[in-house]
Structure 1
Amino acid sequence: MSPLPTRLADGREILWFDEPGRPPRDPVALVDHRDLPRVVPASELRYDALAGEWITIAAHRQDRTYQPPPDQCPLCPSRDGKLTEIPAPSYDVVAFENRFPSFGSAPGAPPPPVTGDAPAPEAGRCEVVCFTDDHGTPFVRLPPERVRLVLEAWAQRTAELGARPGVRYVFPFENRGAEIGVTLSHPHGQIYAYPYVPPFPERMLSRVAAHRVATGENLFDVLLARERAGERVVVAGEHWTAFVPRAARWPVEVHLYPHRPTPDLPALDEAQRAEFGLVYLDVLRRLDALYDDELPYVAAWQQAPVRPGDGRADARLHLRLHSVRRAPGKIKYLAGSESGAGAFISDVRPEAVAERLRAL
């Protein structure tokens, strides 16, 4: 799928993904009439030598838009005299450069040349993906054909961003709910194109590589086979299975894997793409029924790094969704053990959560 690219008033790129059957858009009509200053990211990467992790300092994000009222939402379409980030009276799915990015160069500037192993924050990119122009329709209430379009947008952006010089990992994700820290309530997600491989996928791929050396097997494939045959399956389709992992860190945690070994979103075949929305919407409906309320969650795609040397060959695409809500009105906080020692302690048995979700 090839989106229509245009520019916002400050030079940031916006890409229009339309459902089949919509009349072609006229780029001349997609003009952003706002008077916006140019965005110049001022990010800095610093290395924590003891943890072996890169930390991003992005002080300019302190001034980002924070929980505006619905009538001032910057992600709604531009209409009735209100100008927003999307310069059109309606849209299906759009992706655009974040106005307050953690990474990235000045809008319109090419990414810098790669000059070594040290990551440069200006080589990365942060994008916002809006799933619908309806402010009150969360992902769980999108029709399957819209979920398919969102999936196509994720895949297209993964391929395009992964081809940029200096990018090593592409990470699409959605945060939902104030408890998660969402600053804009309009249904949307983000995509981070990191100039390094983030710590969590890096640790996973390190374990997978060690297992490959010891056994000749792919650890992702081994664990998926075990879960599909076990008691923690929540929803099973022909091409996807959703399950609560045996060592779930969070009070509610569900992983969604394609059955065929698939490295990343662009590598999904037609059958996988067609079934994803049906299985995922089923999972989301069960999650909202768990406490009879919209469950706050983070849904994050784990996929193959861009470079072969980062473990790309053994990576397996999967979606990890988790919630901090442990009971109605109660939140699982990352307290002393989790935030201080990095050791998760769960208050619920994963088998009990899977059983409840299956029964809903």
Structure 2
Amino acid sequence: MIRERLRRIGSWTRAALFTLFIHGVIIYLILFGLSIHQEKLEAEGRPVQAVVVDQLELDRNKEEEKRKLEELERKRKEEELRLAEEKRRLEEEQRLAEEQKRREEEQRLAKERRLAEEQERIEEERKRRESILSNCEKLVLEEEKSGEVNHDLDGLCEKERQALKEQRAREERQREEERQRLEEEKQRKAEEEQKRQEEAERKRKAEEERKQQEEAERKRKAEEDRKRKEEEERKRKEAAERLLAEQKLKEQLAAEQEARLAAQTEKAAANALSAAAGRIRSSIEANWRRPGASLRGLKVVIELRVGRNGEVQKARIVESSGDDRFDESAELAVQKASPLPIPKEPEYYDHIKEFRIEFNPDE
């Protein structure tokens, strides 16, 4: 119910604002139209003075129009505040109602738990008394058979019979109370269901009325929204095209800059590696052992792959000297010379991590 009232407030707000807007437009057209018409007629009769008089009248009309529009705006704001306050109040009522409903449900469940526990306790108590009475009666029968009479036992049995009778009476009363409670609960739920259906019907009718009131407003806004969206789409496309062109230009400039930097870095790395070639050869020669005195004037080209600190990761003969012993000795010298004295600049590494070196110790 409270939610429906909140929706109705929303509908009233839109209807009230729309009505105020229409009234303002009508007042404006009446005042402004009369001013123009009067100015035209008086101008034809009195060419000079009419201009001054009509201008004063027009100014007065504009002031009056402004005042009325301001009054309409003030009333609109007051109505907005009133409806907002009403909405807040209804929301608070709804919150309190839901809180009350939650508490009542908790109390109902707690009561049902207590009743169930009490029923279980009573049932156990009845069973206990029935067991005691059964045992007591067995003892009495045994005494009667034996010819003995125990008055205390007879009294105890009678006491248990009476207690059991009272116990069963209490259970019957509780069952009757539970039956009445369930009947009342059933009636209460039936009444709530009837109220719910009545409220649903009222909401349905209110919703139909709201839709009818909003349909006119929707149609009026549809054309405005369409034009606004077309304009926004046009501007969006223009902005997107402009941004795309700017992005392409930036990417092109960045790519050119990156290419220039890469070329510069590659050239600098090549120069640095060329400058370090002598040190690399010296390091390899320092670790080389000639495999035979007769092996002179030989050379071999080795392809290397090194880590960032110059450690040799891979060495491969790409141009053999023609002598396996010489080739193997050169390859072994490379491994022993690791790490090689390559340029240490981090930005050079990708350009110099693989290179070839000619090993010619007799040159």
TM-score (norm 1): 0.15
Whose helix fraction is larger, Structure 1's or Structure 2's?
2
Whose strand fraction is larger, Structure 1's or Structure 2's?
1
TM-score (norm 2): 0.14
Which has the greater radius of gyration?
A: 2
